[in-house]
Amino acid sequence: MFFELFFQYLVAGLTYGTIYAIVGIGFNIIYNTTGIINFAQGEFVMLGGMTAVTLYGFLPLPLAVIGAVLITMVMGGLIEMVFIRWLVKPTVLRMIIITIGISILIREGALLVWGEGVRSLPYFTGNEISALSLGGVRLSPQVLWSIGVCMVIVLFLNLFFKHTMLGREMRACAANRDAAALCGIPTKNMITLSFVLSAGIGALAGCVVSPITYTQYSIGSGLAIKGFTVAILGGLGNSMAAVAAGFILGILESFSIWVLPTAYKDAISIAILLAMLFIRPSGLFGNKEAMRLKDF
């Protein structure tokens, strides 16, 4: 019985871990190209889930998910073009406040459009009660979907950044924006692209976990803090480490319910975040020396 419970918590932790990891990766993509932490990152996940639910009203599920991802990507690009693209060397404080403002506007807009109701997509395969049994542990197929999609996203990003011209240009932009511009890389477009990309993966994650965790207009800010915790835990800018950190956080949170009231579940991740910031801001897998070179 003990082991079954243990694995049940583990699976729950992994499920939440995937979404935290994806939000964390979203932070990293934008941070790498712009040096900005986009506080509206969690809102992309919410937008993806909400749009997919609406589209599902008149489209088959796969098309609804694809449509939602595309719409959110366009939103991400528009946000960058309207609010960020034309700023000349904005200070960090200014960017923090602007992205917080954006996240509030998206959230209030979603409240206006979709109301306070909790929504969810149907299960991709099977339904609420269908489960795979693995040695006594019940596993919803949707859990496999979300873990699988997370893996595919990570793989895709890896290939994209390492083996395509566009990906390499984005990395050049991350390494040194001025030098990249001198090489003829349109750095402004790369920044827009980074917003489009992180909006897209956020939306996809929002769709996949929607059947399990549900979607509401207000989920964004909580996810943003979790995602940031993950990004810090793995080392800011390191997407692969964010996946590992996401699973660590998800599992820790899930097991915290064992010993602490559920109301404090959110406080756990923030306590981890604060502890990391104080003790080792370069992250579990980060390099202290490299961290010093980044400007904060």
Report whether 28 contacts 242 (CB < 8 A). Answer: yes
Residue 129 in 3-state DSSP? coil
Cα separation, 163 vs 156, in Å, equals 10
DSSP assignments along 12-52, one per residue:
HHHHHHHHHHHHHHHHHHHHHHHS---TTHHHHHHHHHHHH
Cα separation, 284 vs 61, in Å, equals 38
Q: Fill in the DSSP letter of residue 121.
A: P
Chain positions 270 to 289 lying near another protein, rule: CB under 8 A, are 270-271, 273-274, 277-278, 281
Cα separation, 231 vs 229, in Å, equals 5
Cα separation, 170 vs 105, in Å, equals 28
Cβ proximity to another protein, 208 vs 273, nearer residue: 273
Q: Fill in the DSSP letter of residue 261.
A: -
Chain positions 55 to 84 lying near another protein, rule: CB under 8 A, are 83
**Residue 225 binding another protein, by CB under 8 A:** yes
* Minimum distance of another protein from residue 49's CB (angstroms): 21
Chain positions 254 to 273 lying near another protein, rule: CB under 8 A, are 261, 263-264, 266-267, 270-271, 273
How many residues line the site for another protein (CB under 8 A)?
A: 37
Cα–Cα distance list, 111 to 48, 53, 97, 217, 220 (Å): 14, 15, 21, 6, 12
Stretch that binds another protein, among 91-99, 127-135, 143-151, 177-185 (CB under 8 A): 91-99
**Residue 92 binding another protein, by CB under 8 A:** yes
**Residue 96 binding another protein, by CB under 8 A:** yes
* Minimum distance of another protein from residue 87's CB (angstroms): 7
* Minimum distance of another protein from residue 37's CB (angstroms): 4
Please report, as ranges, the residues that interact with another protein according to CB under 8 A.
37, 83, 87, 91-94, 96-98, 100-105, 107-109, 221, 225, 228, 232, 261, 263-264, 266-267, 270-271, 273-274, 277-278, 281, 295-296
